[in-house]
A and B are shown apart, each in its own frame.
Chain A
Amino acid sequence: MNKLTLLFTGIFLTFGSAWVGLVAYPVANLGQMQPLPNEETGGVNPPTVSGLAIAGQKVYAANGCMECHTQQVRPDPFSTDIAKQLGKRQTVPRDEIREHTPFLGEYRIGQDLSNYGARQTDAAAIHRHLYSPTSVTPWSNMPSYSYLYEYRKIVSQPSAHAIQGLTGSRAPKPGYEVVPTQQAEALVAYLLSLNQNYPLPESPEPTAK
């Protein structure tokens, strides 16, 4: 192999083949997916989410939540995700279209979050968990996101947004309160929006065996 042009052409073709298959093909075929109309509600599947939840995607990315949490339900036989009730059906490309970046994740250091909003519908409970995970789940290895909250002295009236029912070492002392910042509110709105319990024709729910 003595000619630079020959070498270069070979590299171009091998590299280019993968580029066509794994970059150009998805851009052309998966890059313009539309939500499907939902005849029951008159809305669409996947349902549209609030602006606050979309802002929460940025908070989720900024704090590296993806380092520990996956967001993908895989079908049998590649996994037991559905039997473990992480979701009722496999995650497909159309589930991702509301996201700015798909947070698929590589590790399950913490639980899968694809359907977190279906399991947990109480915003205050999520705030308590984010502020002090071990006060909710003693064996949790999740770090505290207390920096997304403001710990402050109650002046005249307690805030209507303050988190209620905090226990454990991070609980506010009498006369103090813990108030979510805008980032924490956005993150919780995003977590509540994580729910793939809507039908998509390309991802039927597997029938029970």
Chain B
Amino acid sequence: MSNDQSSQPDTLNSAERATIDSSVAAPVILFFGTAIFWLLFGSVFELISAIKLVWPCFLDGCALLTYGRTSVVSVNALAFGWATPAAIGIGLWLTARLCRVELARYKSLLAAGIIWNIGTFVGVAGIFVGDNTSISHLNFPGYATHILLLAFILIAVWAIVTFNHRKSGPLYVSQWFLVAGFFSFPWLYATASQLLVWNPIQASAQPAIAAWFAGGFFNLWLAPMGLAAAFYLIPKAVGRQINSNHLSLVAFWSLLLFGAWSGTSRLIGGPLPAWMVSVGVAASVMMIIPALAVALNLHFTLDGHYAAMSWSPALRFTITGVSMLVFTWVFTAINSLPAVSSVTNFSDITRALNLLGYYGFFSMTAFGAIYYIVPRLTGKEWPSSCLISWHFWLATTGVLLAVSVLILGGLIQGFALHDIGVTFRSSMDFIFPFRFVAALAALLIVCANLAFALVFAGLHWSLRRPGTAPALIAVREENSQEPVAV
């Protein structure tokens, strides 16, 4: 185990921790609470879209509910209503804790949270009424993007101020990821909005920039924020240090370098210079390096302590989420090899990998972080361990089922689309049963999110008296040496 101090999460005593936690409570709860609303909203529209794919007559002939709008609404509500605010909430709490400063001027953050949600609402409404820009992950019309960026500037200013006031000491690995995420997101979003939405440049130059944004949104914004949480919670929950500082360094820098260039791999054969695609493919394949570095580092940190997963919801969700991130990067690496992508491109495998990354990794990790953070902010415990257990199993089953059937079906569909002797109609017939199962899986995910929303609402309506024991999802073994970590 490394003796470097930067592999220790923090050395605060419980009173200091409580003061810092209570100073961030209001804005963090605001971001989490609204995020969960959009999570439910987005996943319901994801379900509607999944049903429409197997049964096009479902809610047909209505402008607001045509497939082209419901699917776009679900992607953007999940990306900007749920994932981004959840990442911001996690980021605010971790920043305050790791910089060891009490939060000053939290009203600007409350304002940012409210403005952000107004922006998301305006954006979703804009898509419904027909102002969709049709740029992947940037579908919100320009008037909504301005509002979102304004909110994020307030948050970024706060983050810079907090980092400047931090108590001296080495920067912990989570802080590297936080700085990277808080720095990348506004740059990505402002560049892409300016060049593609507000004052679009000539369309011939747009595909590369759109691909750069879509790749960066996941690899440079959501992945660093999720990993920041994982690198804090996992060692905390098992009471150990991060196994290797060197592996953390490798994971961090390889993620930043290759993640930034990886987006263009999905445009293989498309209308942009061939070298851009080659660089994208190379970078996507190299993402194996951060995948292995994260997996090995966290595995050696947890080695011998995996039992804590059985009772700690935070740990169980976080570890599941990070494992799915490793699979996302490995599958994306395989899928971007030209020999593979010539078959799989434009098939439902893209849906599978998006689901694995956004829901399997990010949402699961964010659930874990929220289960860890909120009781510490409010001083209340989760109301029902049974519902948490349902949440976990429904979410895991849903995402794994959908991903496996869509990969399998996507392969068959891809070969049908590729084979000169097979008609387009056959590709539709082949994928049909797989899309049907994927729609069932979307229903499981909606139920999982509903369970989560109920648990979250139950905590705030105090369905459980303060001072009761933490909600463990299994009985802790009596002879266990593990520290209490929920």
Contacts and interface: CB of A to CB of B under 8 A. Distances in A.
Contacts of A68: 67-68
A67 B184 contact: no
Given A30-B205, A93-B207, A104-B267, 10 more contacts: A8-B183, A30-B272, A31-B202, A32-B202, A74-B345, A79-B418, A80-B418, A96-B202, A98-B203, A139-B425
B319 interface: no
Contacts of B72: 64, 67
B130 interface: yes
B269 A4 contact: no
A22 to B, nearest CB: 4
A84 B201 CA distance: 32
Interface string B266-287: 1111111100100100000000
Contact of A26 (B68, B270, B272, B417): B272
A144 interface: yes
Q: Which has the most chain A C-beta neighbours within 10 Å: B130, B266, B270, B418?
A: B270
Given A4-B171, A104-B207, A31 B130 contact: no
B147 interface: no
10 closest cross-chain pairs (CB), A and B: A64-B68, A74-B269, A78-B269, A18-B260, A62-B130, A93-B204, A61-B134, A30-B205, A108-B346, A22-B212
Nearest to A66: B134
Interface string B205-228: 111110110001000100000000
A17 interface: yes
A44 interface: no
Contacts of A30: 202, 204-205, 208, 272-273
B419 interface: yes
Contacts of A101: 133-135, 196, 200, 203, 206
A180 to B, nearest CB: 15
Interface in B56-98: 56, 60-63, 66-69, 71-72
B271 A102 contact: yes
A104 B271 contact: yes
Contacts of B67: 64, 67-68, 143
6 contacts: A15-B256, A22-B211, A26-B209, A31-B205, A105-B346, A143-B67
A21 B279 contact: yes
A67 B75 CA distance: 11
A92 B271 contact: yes
Contacts of A41: none
Interface string A91-129: 111111111111111111101000000000000000000
A45 interface: no
Q: Which has the most chain B C-beta neighbours within 10 Å: A27, A81, A104, A140?
A: A104
A126 B253 CA distance: 52
A64 B203 contact: no
Contacts of B272: 26, 30, 93
Interface of A: 1-4, 7-8, 10-12, 14-15, 17-19, 21-23, 25-27, 29-33, 60-68, 70, 72, 74-75, 77-81, 83-84, 90-109, 111, 139-147
B347 to A, nearest CB: 7
A140 B60 CA distance: 14
Contact of B195 (A27, A67, A90): A27
B346 A143 contact: no
Contacts of B264: 22
Contacts of B375: none
B271 A109 contact: no
B249 A1 contact: yes
Nearest to A6: B171
B176 A100 contact: no
Interface in B237-258: 249, 253, 256-257
Given A31-B202, A31-B204, A108-B347, A64 B69 contact: yes
A19 to B, nearest CB: 7
A80 B71 contact: no
Contacts of B71: 64, 67
A62 B131 contact: yes
A91 B211 contact: no
Given A21-B279, A95-B271, A101-B196, A143 B207 contact: no
Contacts of B345: 74, 78-79
Contact of B134 (A7, A33, A103): A103
A1 B171 contact: yes
A72 B272 CA distance: 11
A143 B69 contact: no
B133 A61 contact: yes
A4 B163 contact: yes
Contacts of A12: 183
Nearest to B68: A64
Contacts of A83: 420
B203 A67 contact: no
B276 A21 contact: yes
B449 interface: no
B297 interface: no
A19 B187 CA distance: 9
Contacts of B428: 139, 141
Contacts of B180: 11
B209 A2 contact: no
A15 B187 contact: yes
Nearest to A22: B212
B170 A63 contact: no
A18 B212 contact: yes
Contacts of B68: 63-68
A62 B271 contact: no
A7 B260 contact: no
Contact of B63 (A22, A92, A147): A147
B227 to A, nearest CB: 14
B271 A72 contact: yes
